[in-house]
Amino acid sequence: MKRLFFLIIILLSFMSSFGQIPQQTGIIKSIGRPDKPGVPVQNASIKVRGLVNTTISSDNGEFNIYIPEKKDGDEFYLVSVQKNGYELKDKDIIGRPLIYSTKVPLELLMVDVEQLMKDKARIEENAYRAADKRYKDRVEELERQVKENEITAEKYHSALVEVQNNYERYLSLISDMADRYARTDYDDLNDTEKEIMTCIENGELLKADSLIHTVFDPNTVLEKNRAAKEEIRQKKEIAQEMIDKANSDRESIMKDIEYAKYIDQLCLELTGEYLKHGDTLRANGCLEKALEIEMILYGEDDHRVRDTRQAIRELRR
């Protein structure tokens, strides 16, 4: 009976949207710049795979997508997002699976093409100017040192090669860094990311590159893939809502072991996402819920229960 009673709790999240017309809400905004926050993009068209009609964003950038056959947690796909004079910040979002939710809005970011070109041109100009000045200053300093016998001719040639290599490496970074800067949403930066942007703005590209590879996964580099962050945000909110619902609603009697296993896995995945962002309190809460489910499903002596207990102990140290 205890097992049935608990499984009731975790199933009720599916019932919350029963009988409602499914709709995915969302908002389209422009990316924020250093001196100007992002603003809603109105009259943008959003096309979803499988739907005949195109959705248009309102004056405040909001939109609703009606997909009657979808339920929370299902996947859906965008076919196009268009607005004259704008382009999607993350073009790869087209054709990539997104998470359907009647509760969690989808946020789409667009870039003003004219502003994009201006920002790229300005950053590239600053960077080339800074590169040439540093190269010239360093070569002149080496020539002075060798002339005044502060360094040997051998050291001079060795240092000159290093200066040339650094100069070429710097030049190779300019186009990519300028594009990253121009496409960065300043409304969603932490302190380290802001420092990187400041380095790029000031032409300190080698320092920016070092920060990027020191702090972030080289595969996602600076932006940590904004679209992936948005997808993770949706997953976290949907999962947390389902878990919270499982904790609060205790009235119906239903049984679904597979769904219980799904919620257990969801708790563990959400734990990892919270830990990535330093939220140990919520991570601990998710682990405790996973442990509770696993004890009911597998029993006290199962290795999965032991592993989760150990993870909780390590988290509390």
Amino acid at position 198, single letter: T
Residue among 71, 67, 70 at smallest CA distance from 13: 71
DSSP element (H, E) containing 12 = helix 2-15
Task: Give the pLDDT of residue 230.
Answer: 56
Specify whether domain 226-316 bears CATH 1.10.150: no
Task: Give the pLDDT of residue 48.
Answer: 93
Least confident stretch, 114-118, 148-152, 249-253, 290-294:
249-253
- What sign does the CA torsion over 135, 137, 143, 145 have? negative
Q: Provide the 8-state DSSP code for 40.
A: B
Domain boundaries, the chain: 22-112, 114-215, 226-316
Range from 26-30, 174-178, 220-224 that averages highest in pLDDT? 26-30
With bands split at pLDDT 50, 70 and 90, how would you rate the model's confidence at 150? very high
With bands split at pLDDT 50, 70 and 90, how would you rate the model's confidence at 81? very high
Backbone torsions φ then ψ of 219, nearest 5 degrees: -75, -25
Higher pLDDT, 135 or 239: 135
Higher pLDDT, 94 or 3: 94
Task: Give the pLDDT of residue 2.
Answer: 40
Residues counted in the chain: 317
Tell me if 271 sits within 8 A of 287, measured CB to CB: yes
Task: Give the pLDDT of residue 257.
Answer: 67
Task: Give the pLDDT of residue 118.
Answer: 92
Give the CATH H-level superfamily of domain 22-112.
Carboxypeptidase-like, regulatory domain (2.60.40.1120)
With bands split at pLDDT 50, 70 and 90, how would you rate the model's confidence at 55? very high
Q: Is the pTM of this model over 0.85?
A: no
How far from 63 is each of 9, 12, 50, 93, 147, CA to CA, in Å?
32, 28, 17, 17, 69
DSSP element (H, E) containing 27 = strand 23-30
Mean pLDDT of all residues in 221-240: 54
Characterize the bridge pairing of strands 78-82 and 98-99. Answer: unpaired
- Token look-up 């040192």 returns 145
Per-residue H/E/C for 77-109: CEEEEECCCEEECCHHHCCCCEECCCCCCEEEE
Task: Give the pLDDT of residue 216.
Answer: 52
Q: Provide the 8-state DSSP code for 31.
A: P
Residues 178-216 have pLDDT tens digits of 888 888 888 878 788 888 888 888 888 888 888 876 655
Higher pLDDT, 11 or 197: 197
